[in-house]
A and B are shown apart, each in its own frame.
Chain A
Amino acid sequence: MSVSGSPLTAGPLAAGAWGDALIKFGNSVGAMAGFLGILLVVFLVAGRARGRLARPLAVLVFLGPAVLLLVVGLVAPLIRTVYLSVHNADGSKFVGGENFGWAFTTDSVQKVLINTLLWLVVAPLAATGLGLVLALLVDRMRGQAVYKSLIFMPMAISLVGASIIFKFVYEARGKDQPQIGLLSQLAHAVGWSDPPNWLLTQPLNTFLLMAVMVWVQTGFAMVVLSAAIKAIPDEVVEAARLDGATGVRLFWHVTVPMIRTTVMVVLTTVMIITLKAFDIVRTMTGGNFGTQVLANEMYSQSFVQFDDGRGGALAVLLFLAVLPLVAYNIVQLRREREVR
């Protein structure tokens, strides 16, 4: 069927699509109604309990489902992944560190590890840094809400959508053809007559993919850091100013220390989201042209090669890569709760 197909052929198809939609929504609504119905019955029954049993029963009903989901969905799989990572492809034989050895000695996987590390360092730092600069600059401007909204907007867009948006921005054509990609056009406008094919050129392409992540995350960093800066007590700033601190010095010696915790939280959050670079790489290059990252390699080892051992080992490596920042945040939270 051609794309410019006549409305005549599209008619019955469309009708079928609506029927299909009705059934699917029916399933969804049914599931939600069932879920709420069961809860209501449980609440009514358990709510009648009195005396010594009432408390344990309440804990069980309220906390039970969440704990069960966490154990089955996260804790057990986590342990299982670690277990798989030291076993062979189908999990039948213990192989020790063989899978990790494979990861560190195979050229293609080494490249993947380096790419992932680059992603985890460059994208969060760039997004947080840019967000901080914008947070400082935008607050004094008239109509700041508009600027903030527009820069924050990409946060709502899926990484797949963002990837398609940027794939179009990076579209490159021969130099004698009219350019339809924004980046190529900009390059021409500044007099760069024969730029490379953006997404095919290593290692430039990895950084161009990171730009998508930065585009999505900068607004988030800006909004959160802007709130943190506003929360600095005026007295602190006044006192520093009386001591003679101004401008950039005030920024480094007062603002930065006061918002350090928030900066770390933002960095961590962006880093965790950067693990979703999977979506960007898969949509834009499919992992080709030297852009592969750990999550994609893990996916293909597990679900294409069916090697659970190697897939597991890569997942463990991914976890180890983010562990330092995560540990920092847990220590921080503990300290805060002790203060309270």
Chain B
Amino acid sequence: MTGRHRNPVRKSFSSPLASAFVIAMTVLWTAPTLGLLVTSLRPKQDVTTDGWWNALIHPDFGLGNYHAVLFEGGSGGSTGLMPFLVNSLAISIPATLFPLVLAAMAAYALAWVRFRGSDAVFFTVFALQVVPLQMALIPLLRLFSSGAHLGSLTLIPAVDLKGSYAPVWLAHTMFAMPLAVFLLHNFIAQLPRDLMEAAVVDGASHFKIFRSIVLPLCAPALASFAIFQFLWVWNDLLVALTFAGGTPEVAPMTVRLAQQAGSLGGRWELLTAGAFLSIIVPLIVFFSLQRYFVRGLLAGSVKG
């Protein structure tokens, strides 16, 4: 224990009772996920005859449910989760890359290419961060499906994007922009001024500075945001439901699982396997990159 940790506030809150509380909370917080994993590994008949906690004592595990839910679907004739799993990946990766790059560029301009009105732009971006995306959903969908018109003048033509990932990518990129610009701006603005000025003196253009100084130095911030955005897109339901619909061509896992939670009713061995498949990717990302993830969260919410 270092001196910093001998904080009297925390000391007065620490007692065997406090530890017991934290341990109880941890068990309570972990048990539901454990139940999901255990159930997904059990044979169908076991799942319905007794609670999953019994399987901890008499384990009889197999991967049959996963094969069933991935390739066979559950209710007659439908495809399995496989295409939806593929869609989730095919949506999430570009929808992470696009806002990451575009927001880093914007953040750089706002921080280092000062121009009149750059503060106003920054505050607008910050304010937009907290607008619920539900506010933008209906008009954006109409825009994609029928274009934008001012009187008889067509500003943006309708584009037929049905059955393509483009609307989902675009929507996620748009909705991610405010938070991304804000977070990356906080980081990029703190790069050493001397370094930037030296580069300008050497005759480097903004494009060169951005590529060879800003991007490499911002790698940790970029990583935090990338993880954050990837998890957000992978876990999203509303945007996907609105812009991708529910077909195996484009819809991600979340959309399919939400459908199945209703339609598969009591088929817990399948539902749990599907749900676990959908959470395993974020969990791997989370546990392997937790440090960056936490740093990103703190950058957004602890001021100082």
The chain A residues found within 8 Å of chain B, CB to CB, are 1, 3-5, 9-10, 13-14, 17, 20-21, 24-25, 27-28, 31-32, 35-36, 39, 43-44, 46-47, 49, 54-56, 58-59, 61-63, 65-67, 69-70, 72-78, 80-81, 84, 130, 134, 136-141, 147, 149-161, 163-169, 171, 178-182, 185, 215, 218-220, 223-224, 227-232, 234, 237, 241, 246-248, 250-251, 254-255, 261-262, 265-266, 268-269, 272, 275-276, 278-279, 282-284, 286, 295, 298-299, 302-303, 308, 311-312, 315-316, 318-319, 322, 326, 329-330, 333-334, 336
Contact = CB atoms under 8 A, between A and B. Distances in A.
Contacts of B171: 73
A325 B143 CA distance: 30
B283 interface: yes
Given A31-B94, A161-B257, A268-B130, A78 B136 contact: yes
B25 A151 contact: yes
Nearest to A326: B130
Contacts of B97: 32, 35
Contact of A32 (B36, B94, B139): B94
Given A54-B205, A74-B131, A77-B140, A136 B10 contact: yes
Interface stretch (B12-20, B191-199, B216-224): B12-20
Nearest to A80: B139
Given A13-B72, A137-B13, A62 B67 contact: no
B4 interface: yes
Interface of B: 3-5, 7-14, 18-19, 21-23, 25-26, 29-33, 35-36, 39, 44, 47-53, 67-68, 71-74, 76-77, 79-80, 82-83, 86-87, 89-91, 93-94, 97-98, 101-103, 105-106, 108-110, 113, 115, 121, 123-128, 130-132, 134-140, 142-143, 148, 156, 164-166, 169-171, 173-175, 177-178, 181, 205-208, 210-211, 231, 234-238, 241-242, 254, 257-258, 261-262, 267-268, 270-272, 274-275, 278-279, 282-283, 285-287, 290, 294, 297-298, 300-304
Given A62-B109, A164-B36, A185-B51, A141 B19 contact: yes
B287 A149 contact: yes
Given A155-B286, A229-B9, 15 more contacts: A5-B68, A32-B93, A67-B121, A70-B174, A70-B177, A160-B278, A163-B261, A275-B134, A278-B237, A278-B238, A279-B238, A279-B258, A283-B237, A319-B131, A330-B126
Nearest to B275: A164
The A contact surface, by secondary structure, is: helix
Contact of A58 (B18, B26, B206): B206
A220 B234 contact: no
Contacts of B242: 299, 303
B36 to A, nearest CB: 5
Contact of A158 (B3, B87, B103, B234): B234
The B contact surface, by secondary structure, is: helix
Which residue, of A46, A59, A231, has the highest number of chain B Cβ atoms within 10 A? A59
Given A147-B23, A180-B50, A283-B258, A308 B138 contact: yes
Which residue, of B108, B109, B121, B283, has the highest number of chain A Cβ atoms within 10 A? B109
Contact of B128 (A24, A74, A250): A74
A233 B52 CA distance: 48
B283 to A, nearest CB: 6
A180 B53 CA distance: 9
B297 to A, nearest CB: 6
Contacts of A166: 32
Nearest to B95: A28
A234 B60 CA distance: 54
Contact of A25 (B86, B108, B257, B268): B86
Nearest to A282: B258
Contacts of A46: 207
A46 B206 CA distance: 10
B211 A43 contact: yes
Which residue, of A69, A80, A134, has the highest number of chain B Cβ atoms within 10 A? A69
Nearest to A58: B206
Given A1-B73, A31-B94, A66-B177, A237 B297 contact: no
A58 B22 contact: no
A69 B128 CA distance: 12
A4 B86 CA distance: 23
